[in-house]
Structure formats: C-alpha cells, structure tokens
C-alpha cells in the first residue's frame, strides 16, 4: 500500500463516522500523491502525514445560556487547533445546527493549506457550535456568544489562535464575542478578526472573500484570453460571500442571474439587483424568496435546482456538498466553462472529478476563497501595528494576494506535470510550505 493510501485508511479507522473529514483528507492526499511519492522515505521517517492529519488539539465544551423564556439552553462548542507550523491558528467560527466535530475537522484541515497559500504567517484552525442564530433575538445571540467566549477565551490570543466569522457568525456575533473577551482578559488585542471598523476591524474584510473569489476568476480568465465582461454568472447562497462575489462580478461587467438560500433560489434574467438583496439579507435578515416578491423580472423556485440555470460561470458560495455530479453534468450541458468555489468544498468529489475530466476550468475553495482569511491576516497586521490602512490599500493587497495564489497554484500544477489541475496545484503549493516548516521544527 502506498503511504498516502495507508494514511487514508488510518484516518478512516481512527476517526469513525467523520465522513466530511475523511472526504477532505482523501481529496488532499490524493492530489499530494506525486509529491509524497517523491519524498516517501523522508516523510515516513518523521511520520509527517500521521502528524499532518491529527489536529494538534481539539477543545470541546458546553455552552449554557438562557433564552427569552427564561429556559436554560445548552449547545456544544468546539475549537479545532489543527496545525501551527507556519503561524498562530487562524480560521472561522461557524454557528449552525449541523456543526459537529467532523465538519470542523474537515474545515480546519482545509484551512491549513489555504492559509499557507496566502503567503501569510497563519496556521490552520476552525471552530463553532451547533447553535442556530436564525430566529433568535439579539439578546439571545448575545447571551450565547458571551457564554461561548467565556470558555473559548482560555485557549485563544493574538499570537496563539485568532478566530474569525463563518456561516452564522457575522459582525454582530464577532462584536458580542470581542466584548466578552475584552471584559474577561482586560486585553484590547487582535484576538478576533472581522471586527467593526470603529474597533479594530479592517476595511475590505467584509467584502474580501467574495471580491477575492472574483479576482482569482479574473486571473483564470486572463490566462485564457477572456474576461468577465458579458459573462453570465450563477452564484449560490445569499450570505456574505455570495453578496460580495456578486458585487465584484457585476463591477467587472458580468451579469449575475441567480442567488439562493437553503429554501430555494431566485432567477432574474435581467440581472440581480444587489441593493435589494442587501436590504433583504443584511438589513431585514429575510429570505431570498422576498426578492421575487419585489422584483417583477425574478422568479423564485423552492428547492436546490439552482445549477439548472444556464450560465458561463458558476460560483458556489453557500455550503459544503451543495453541487453534485448531476449538477456538474447539467452545468456542462448548459455551456458552463468555469467553476470557482466561494464556499468550502461545495462540490462533491465526483463533481470535482467531472470538471477536471471534462475541461471545465476549476478553482477549488482553498485557493478561490482564501481572500477572506488573507484579509483577516491583514487585519491582524494592522492591529499589531496600531494602524488602519485605506480601502484601496487593502483592496490592492488582496488583489495581489489572489494573483499570487493563482500563480503559485498554476506553477505547482505545471511542476508536477498536471497543468491546469488547480486542485492538485493548490494542495501541493499549500502543502510544501507546511511540510518544510514541520520538518524544520522537529517532532512536535
């Protein structure tokens, strides 16, 4: 058995039932096979892969809080501190009823390579809770966030572990958690990113993941002599990533015709009117269905059929495994030639293989959505310097980082004889730096 197959078998055996984690490890290890085979003896000797797939630490804790009826509720909270070889742990917090250890381990594992790809000194981590902020009052969300942070604060710090937002954790939640951290520790430090602009946040952080996604798509198109001008784009989700991917795609001349949420999708052949989406989603915290109530050219459809809408470019920006093999085939049949992932692992493994085998240009999430964490690292940098950069300054740095990620990814794919395979390229480029640091730091 090859080293890679051995490690995958070990992960499945030692982490029973963690199917999302297995999926993420398999995808990464398979695409690293060329590098690992080339260095097998050296890596085996220091058990590099055994260490890479085992989180440095997982903290799991109880989060009790009182709801508006005076009843005590209890949720499960976690922080997975996966790998600190190249910097303090960095990765978002997700609040969603589906959150469990497997999902956070998959996200934390992916984060290691994504963070490495940004070229910035940040390790990989992820955390969250099986708490659903939907339908909760502001007071309930605050009570939850304060209780969550009371426990988490013992394990994080500006040079130790710096969480950020993810699904269900936006500016409001970061604010409540930051306030509690400060109260508990007395420290005004950059311990969380995604902070408000008046209290240590960075300009462009809100837009960064969506903008970064479109910047890398722009790079991919440039290299084949195309541009976003006039392209029809379908974006799934209607949260932070989806909204700002839509905004930047529109600014660069594309027509975004669809958005979704977990209930259904809207199709607006005249192009999505983003100000209305922002009002529904960012102000009223409503459902995407309301868009069709307000815009006569739009049609709302219940369910998950968004990928049946014809487009040139698909940007899945909602959640993991939201785009399967059938969806990938439908996209291809309808003329889609490029898929780039705003969400983490939105394409199933079968869908990813289909893109690669059928000439669809494909940029995986760990490269395509790295703009968010990269800008978080820029926020850490500004916090440490006690400075704030202008919007244009941060935006330009983000653009450069995305161009650099494209270049590194394309270069690694070339070097290992799989040109255009950005899945392999992103994993290899991210892995090389982490592996090198782990070798240098001895057996830890």
Structure tokens that stand for 247 in this block: 């905004």
Please give the DSSP secondary-structure letter assigned to residue 359.
Answer: T
Residue 318 engages ligand NDP in binding (rule: CB under 6 A): yes
Kindly name the residue from 90, 126, 195, 281 that is annotated as catalytic: 126
Q: Which of 190, 239, 364, 425 binds ligand NDP (CB under 6 A)?
A: 239
How crowded is the C-beta side of 147, counted as CA atoms within 13 Å?
21
Pairing type for strands 313-315 and 299-302 reads unpaired
DSSP alpha helix (H) spans, 153-202: 171-185
Tally Cβ neighbours within 10 Å of residue 6: 14
| Interface map 411-430 toward ligand NDP (x if CB under 6 A) | --------------------
Q: How far is the CB of 95 from ligand NDP (least distance, A)?
A: 9
Please give the DSSP secondary-structure letter assigned to residue 258.
Answer: E
The C-alpha atoms of residue 340 and residue 230 are separated, in whole angstroms, by: 17
Torsion of CA 184, 188, 119, 216, to 10 degrees: 90
Give yes or no: 126 in active site.
Answer: yes
3-state class (DSSP) for residue 191: coil
Candidates 12-20, 21-29, 238-246, 417-425 — which segment interacts with ligand NDP by CB under 6 A?
A: 238-246
Is 20 in contact with 106 (CB distance < 8 Å)? yes
Site of tokens 């050219």: 297
Residue 118 engages ligand NDP in binding (rule: CB under 6 A): no
> Rg of the Cα trace of the chain?
21
The C-alpha atoms of residue 334 and residue 326 are separated, in whole angstroms, by: 12
**Which whole-number Å values give the CA distances from 419 to 153, 384, 413, 424, 426, in the listed order?**
44, 39, 5, 9, 12
Q: How far is the CB of 226 from ligand NDP (least distance, A)?
A: 25
| Burial letters 357-366, b for 16+ CB under 10 A, else e | eeebbbbbbb
Residue 80 engages ligand NDP in binding (rule: CB under 6 A): no
Candidates 20-28, 154-162, 171-179, 315-323 — which segment interacts with ligand NDP by CB under 6 A?
A: 315-323
Candidates 17-25, 42-50, 318-326, 405-413 — which segment interacts with ligand NDP by CB under 6 A?
A: 318-326
Closer to ligand NDP by CB, 134 or 223: give it.
134
Is 345 in contact with 371 (CB distance < 8 Å)? no
Residues 363-382 that bind ligand NDP (CB under 6 A): 369, 372
Pairing type for strands 361-363 and 338-340 reads parallel
Site of tokens 């109880």: 62
Q: Which of 344, 348, 383, 427 binds ligand NDP (CB under 6 A)?
A: 344
Candidates 172-180, 236-244, 390-398, 416-424 — which segment interacts with ligand NDP by CB under 6 A?
A: 236-244
Q: Which of 166, 218, 268, 395 binds ligand NDP (CB under 6 A)?
A: 166
Residue 241 engages ligand NDP in binding (rule: CB under 6 A): yes
Element (H, E) at 58: strand 57-66
Residue 323 engages ligand NDP in binding (rule: CB under 6 A): no
Can you state the angle between helices 240-251 and 205-222, rounded to 10 degrees?
Answer: 50
Residue 165 engages ligand NDP in binding (rule: CB under 6 A): yes
Q: How far is the CB of 43 from ligand NDP (least distance, A)?
A: 29
Residue 108 engages ligand NDP in binding (rule: CB under 6 A): no
Q: How far is the CB of 194 from ligand NDP (least distance, A)?
A: 7
Closer to ligand NDP by CB, 49 or 281: give it.
281
Q: How far is the CB of 206 from ligand NDP (least distance, A)?
A: 9
| Interface map 193-222 toward ligand NDP (x if CB under 6 A) | ----------------x-------------
The C-alpha atoms of residue 284 and residue 297 are separated, in whole angstroms, by: 22
Q: How far is the CB of 114 from ligand NDP (least distance, A)?
A: 8
Is 443 in contact with 46 (CB distance < 8 Å)? yes
Candidates 25-33, 165-173, 328-336, 408-416 — which segment interacts with ligand NDP by CB under 6 A?
A: 165-173
Q: How many residues does the chain have?
A: 444
Residue 319 engages ligand NDP in binding (rule: CB under 6 A): yes
The C-alpha atoms of residue 316 and residue 332 are separated, in whole angstroms, by: 15
What residue is closest to ligand NDP based on CB?
239
Q: How many helices, marked H, and strands, marked E, lie in the chain?
A: 17, 12
Please give the DSSP secondary-structure letter assigned to residue 157.
Answer: B
Closer to ligand NDP by CB, 81 or 236: give it.
236
Residue 115 engages ligand NDP in binding (rule: CB under 6 A): no
Closer to ligand NDP by CB, 8 or 89: give it.
89
Residue 167 engages ligand NDP in binding (rule: CB under 6 A): yes
Torsion of CA 37, 352, 288, 213, to 10 degrees: 60
Q: How far is the CB of 262 from ligand NDP (least distance, A)?
A: 3
Q: How far is the CB of 243 from ligand NDP (least distance, A)?
A: 8
Q: Known catalytic residues? A: 126
- Contact residues: ligand NDP, CB under 6 A: 165-168, 209, 237-242, 260-263, 317-319, 322, 342-344, 369, 372
């Amino acid at each position: 058995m090859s080293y890679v197959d051995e490690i995958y078998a070990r992960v499945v055996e030692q982490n029973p039932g963690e199917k999302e984690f297995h999926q993420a490890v398999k995808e990464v290890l398979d695409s690293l096979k060329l590098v690992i085979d080339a260095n097998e003896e050296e890596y085996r000797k220091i058990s590099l892969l055994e260490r890479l797939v085992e989180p440095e630490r997982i903290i799991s804790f109880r989060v009790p809080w009182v709801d508006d009826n005076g009843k005590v509720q209890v949720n499960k909270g976690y922080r997975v501190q996966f790998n600190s070889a190249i910097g303090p742990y960095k990765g978002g917090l997700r609040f969603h009823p589906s959150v469990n250890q497997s999902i956070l381990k998959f996200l934390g594992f992916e984060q290691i390579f994504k963070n490495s790809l940004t070229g910035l000194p940040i390790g990989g981590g992820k955390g969250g809770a099986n708490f659903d902020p939907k339908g909760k009052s502001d007071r309930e969300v605050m009570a939850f966030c304060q209780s969550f942070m009371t426990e988490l604060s013992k394990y994080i710090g500006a040079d130790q572990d710096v969480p950020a937002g993810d699904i269900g954790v936006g500016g409001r939640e970061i604010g409540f958690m930051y306030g509690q951290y400060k109260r508990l520790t007395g420290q005004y430090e950059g311990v969380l990113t995604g902070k408000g602009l008046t209290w240590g946040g960075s300009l462009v952080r809100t837009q960064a993941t969506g903008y970064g996604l479109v910047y890398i798509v722009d790079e991919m198109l440039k290299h084949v002599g195309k541009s976003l001008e006039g392209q029809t784009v379908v974006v799934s989700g209607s949260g932070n990533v989806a909204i700002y991917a839509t905004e930047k795609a529109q600014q660069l001349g594309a027509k975004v015709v669809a958005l979704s949420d977990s209930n259904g999708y809207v199709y607006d052949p005249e192009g999505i009117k983003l100000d209305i989406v922002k009002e529904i989603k960012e102000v009223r915290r409503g459902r995407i269905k309301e868009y069709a109530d307000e815009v006569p050219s739009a049609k709302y459809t219940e369910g998950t059929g968004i990928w049946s809408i014809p487009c040139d470019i698909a940007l899945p920006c909602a959640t993991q495994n939201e785009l399967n093999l059938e969806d990938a085939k439908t996209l291809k049949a309808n003329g889609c030639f490029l898929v780039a992932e705003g969400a983490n692992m939105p394409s199933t493994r079968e869908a990813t293989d289909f893109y690669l085998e059928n000439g669809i240009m494909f940029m995986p999430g760990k490269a395509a959505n790295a703009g968010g964490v990269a800008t978080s690292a820029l926020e850490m940098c500004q916090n440490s310097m006690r400075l704030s950069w202008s919007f244009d300054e941060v935006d330009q740095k983000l653009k450069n980082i995305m161009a650099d990620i494209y270049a590194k990814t394309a270069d690694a794919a070339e070097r290992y004889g799989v040109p255009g395979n950005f899945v392999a390229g992103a994993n290899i480029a991210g892995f090389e730096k982490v592996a090198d640091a782990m070798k240098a730091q001895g057996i830890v």
